[in-house]
Amino acid sequence: MVEVSDGASCADALKEGLSGKRFKAAIACKAGDTLLDLTAPVPTTTETLTLTPVTADTPEGLGLIRHSAAHVMAAAVKKLFPAAKVTIGPSIENGFYYDFDVETPFSPDQFEAIEAEMQRIIDAAVPFERMDISKADAVKLFNDMGEPYKVELIEGLEDGTITLYRNGDFVDLCRGPHIPNAGFVKAFKLLSVAGAYWRGDEKNRMLSRIYATAFADAKDLKEYLNRIEEAKRRDHRKLGKELDLFAFHEDVAAGMVFWLPKGMLLRTILEDFLRREHIKRGYQLVQGPQVLRRELWEQSGHYANYRENMYFTEIEGDMYGIKPMNCVSHMLIYNAHLRSYRELPQRYFELGVVHRHEKSGVLHGLLRVRQFTQDDAHIICAPEQLEDEIIGVIALVRDLMALFGFQYRVVISTKPAKAIGSDEAWELATNALIKAVERANLSYTINAGDGAFYGPKIDVKVTDAIGREWQLSTIQCDFTLPERFELEYVGQDGERHRPVMVHRAILGSLERFIGVLTEHYAGAFPTWLAPVQAKILTVTDAQNAFAEEACEALRKQGIRAEVDTRNEKLGFKVREAQLAKIPYILVVGDKEVEARSVNVRLRTGENLGVKSLDEVAALVQEDCAEPFKRGGMSYRFS
């Protein structure tokens, strides 16, 4: 324990309590849970106060470096483009950005000059200085500087002290804290530009946003930039075009996918597998209509809580909502007749097409669309069955994540500010999710306030082949909608009781999942899922007849095969098949025709030699079955 004099700074206190090396590594200070500048005075308290150093190699330290780098970038932009108006510049998950109001939007061509000016500020180790002034003085200061966006932000704050930070000639509105000086930004890179509306409102002026990143050292920056390049190589939009899977026509159907034959085949294989797997696990296939009267959406709470994301249409003077979710239809299916406790649980599965209004600025290939299909299911069960049903869903999640080779983590999201239902119902639902996850021996974190408006949820976040995290599965526990739709069952006592409902989607949106899967596999789908599993290539026209015969023979054994009899050089055809990510490339020359066989090559370039058609079929089937063993599932050709 170290005693410090009144008015001592955090730096003074840390210097007293740390070795020279540890003290020099500190870029900020943590007092309890509060982050502070090193120059900030030690908080006054009658209790023993724990001060800990924040270093660049911690998540908090990296966040501070990126936040400070955003200020450095804004200072550089103002130096080079004095007419630019500054708005906001936060740190984000993988870096930071800053939005500017400029007459002509920025372009990557200007990055070199901006980076050079940033480096000058960094090399000079320009300090960050905190300034506390009155609200009136802050408004006057930014008015005098000609910064209307800062004035608008300040005027929206409560009266009192306003915190600013100065970095050289640049002054910004900011609560802090910051690194001691710009020299602690050891590695940075400007990445891209984009448009962004002021405060996210499309009625406001379009700003020019510069995205960038920063790291504690150059090695981490280099690794990150390599990951970005790998992500570009795997971009599903690029691969979707190259592999002829899907297309978009934003001028006529923004946010909606046109599935091309190979993409539709891949999707159909996935859908058929999901249907079979759900039937095997006791689900019943159902389907509801695309539109329902507005009154039903009012009853469910969607109209009050989700209306801005819905599309509506009028039919003979009545207002209908195009479904954004399948739960309402499934409850009506349940209510088709009175259920006995012996009939519970009822597990309804639907590959349901839904529509949700997304602003055009957030649409992103398959990952963010307006029309999509959910592998949606609703389990309606007695309260005492709830935990077991959730565990059953978790088992399905585990099997499917193993099948596709995803690592994952579990997050439990609790009651949001905008919610329906009683506190008691929310507590019961949340506890059921927690107990089920714990019984399944899964670790989890709590994401407070991020549940659905009708119930808490388990979110499964998967990590792909290059370390990116994606939100896929969700399991939501709901006591409220069964009450609103008067769902009932007759119990063992002959009385009517209220069931509980589990909303769940394992892959989520099939569109989004296929986008994620395309990037995860870099387009090289596992053989069981590949639209074309084998392609037969001829050396000359003399082999065309046998190639067609071989293709037909493989198809009869359930292999998705094609023939390439074009008058092109063999090397060219092999290269094209490899670029198309086809698992098995079967070459036919005169010797193969004579032996009624094919020369087998893999898309990786490995040559397996000459094999009979039966041997090829067995190879493909074994390759298809292999991933299913990880999830304890069986693969069946159809």
Please count the other Cβ atoms lying within 10 Å of the Cβ belonging to residue 64.
Answer: 23
Of 67, 503, 504, 601, catalytic: 503
Whether 378 is a known active-site residue: answer yes
Whether 551 is a known active-site residue: answer no
All residues at 6 or more sequence positions from 343 whose CB lies less than 8 Å from its CB, including other chains: 489
Residue that the structure tokens 């930071």 belong to? 96
How far from 49 is each of 1, 30, 32, 198, 252, CA to CA, in Å?
9, 10, 7, 41, 62
Residue that the structure tokens 């002829």 belong to? 244
Of 376, 464, 478, 623, catalytic: 376
Q: How far apart, in whole angstroms, are the C-alpha atoms of residue 406 and residue 401?
A: 5
DSSP 3-state of 61: helix
Q: How far apart, in whole angstroms, are the C-alpha atoms of residue 83 and residue 402?
A: 54
Token readout for 9 is 């700074």
- The dihedral built from the CA positions of residue 462, 464, 469 and 472, taken in this order, carries a sign that is negative
Residue 477 assigned ligand-binding role: no
Strands 371-381 and 500-509: antiparallel
- The dihedral built from the CA positions of residue 321, 419, 93 and 198, taken in this order, carries a sign that is positive
Q: Report cis status (omega within 30 of 0) of the bond before 345.
A: yes
The DSSP result for 393-456, as a single string, is: HHHHHHHHHHHHT-EEEEEEE---SS--S-HHHHHHHHHHHHHHHHHTT--EEEETT-SBTTB-
Of 67, 150, 356, 520, catalytic: 356
Residue that the structure tokens 């099948």 belong to? 403
Q: How far apart, in whole angstroms, are the C-alpha atoms of residue 17 and residue 25?
A: 13
Token readout for 153 is 């932000």
Whether 355 is a known active-site residue: answer no
Read off the amino acid at residue 268.
T
Q: How far apart, in whole angstroms, are the C-alpha atoms of residue 42 and residue 52?
A: 12
Of 15, 262, 355, 457, catalytic: 457
**Region for residue 325 given its phi and psi (left: phi exceeds 0; alpha: psi -120 to 50; beta: otherwise):** beta
Token readout for 558 is 């359930």
Residue 29 assigned ligand-binding role: no
Q: Are 186 and 124 in contact (CB under 8 A)?
A: no
Whether 356 is a known active-site residue: answer yes
Q: How far apart, in whole angstroms, are the C-alpha atoms of residue 64 and residue 57?
A: 11
Q: Are 508 and 274 in contact (CB under 8 A)?
A: no
Q: How far apart, in whole angstroms, are the C-alpha atoms of residue 462 and residue 410?
A: 9
Whether 457 is a known active-site residue: answer yes
Order of strands, edge to edge, in the sheet holding 371-381? 284-285, 346-355, 371-381, 500-509, 469-478, 457-463, 407-413, 444-447
Whether 79 is a known active-site residue: answer no
Q: How far apart, in whole angstroms, are the C-alpha atoms of residue 590 and residue 586?
A: 13
Of 346, 374, 385, 533, catalytic: 374
Of 10, 327, 551, 624, catalytic: 327
Whether 381 is a known active-site residue: answer no
Residue 327 assigned ligand-binding role: yes
Of 78, 178, 355, 378, catalytic: 378
Question: Looking at the annotation, which residues are catalytic?
Answer: 327, 356, 374, 376, 378, 457, 503
Annotated binding-site positions for Zn(2+): 327, 378, 503
Annotated binding-site positions: 327, 378, 503
